Amino acid sequence: MQVEVLTGVERRRRWPYEEKIRLVEETLSPGVTVSEVARRHGVAPSLLFTWRRQAREGRLGGTEAAPLLVPVRIAATEAASPPARPRRPAGLIEIELGGGRRVRVGRDVDGEALRRVLDVLEDRPVRRSPECAGG
């Protein structure tokens, strides 16, 4: 039987920044657990959780500022579909006057008031309704 006696202070393993980042990124892969990665690399799961928290806070270490790591999910997009046009409220009337000018009014706009506004915008003589003629 052989007995090995260790004397002196046991030293902690120093993890290079690149190795920490690699292990943290591995824990963020879909379907992978922190415990699984810890077991595979001989690291305590609590240490990996600490590194993940530090990475999120930008405090993992290294010579440069640590990048913030967040999980990302990429969703498929339909390249063939055109961009959606903004929806207009129901009953909106848009009048193009030319020269890039437009007037937008709701369906309940007062017709006489709209006529006066359009006359002014088109530099036409303003037609007054009989109610306005006396005042």
Q: Which of 10, 26, 7 is nearest to 18 (CA)?
A: 26
Question: String of b and e for 14-40 (b: at least 16 CB within 10 Å)?
Answer: ebeeeebbebbeebeeeeeebeebbee
Residue range 71-80: average pLDDT?
70
Strand-pair category, 93-98 with 101-105: antiparallel
> pTM for the complete prediction?
0.41
pLDDT tens-digit series, residues 92-126: 778 877 777 788 888 788 888 888 888 887 776 65
| Percent over 70 (pLDDT), the chain | 65
End-to-end CA distance of the chain: 119
Q: Are 23 and 51 a contacting pair, CB within 8 Å? A: yes
Tokens 């943290």 belong to residue: 24
**Nearest-angstrom CA–CA distance, 108 and 91:** 8
Q: Comparing 66 with 110, which gets the higher pLDDT?
A: 110
Q: What is the pLDDT of residue 49?
A: 94
SS3 66: coil
pLDDT of 18 over the 80 cut:
yes
All structural domains of the chain with their residue ranges: 17-57, 93-133
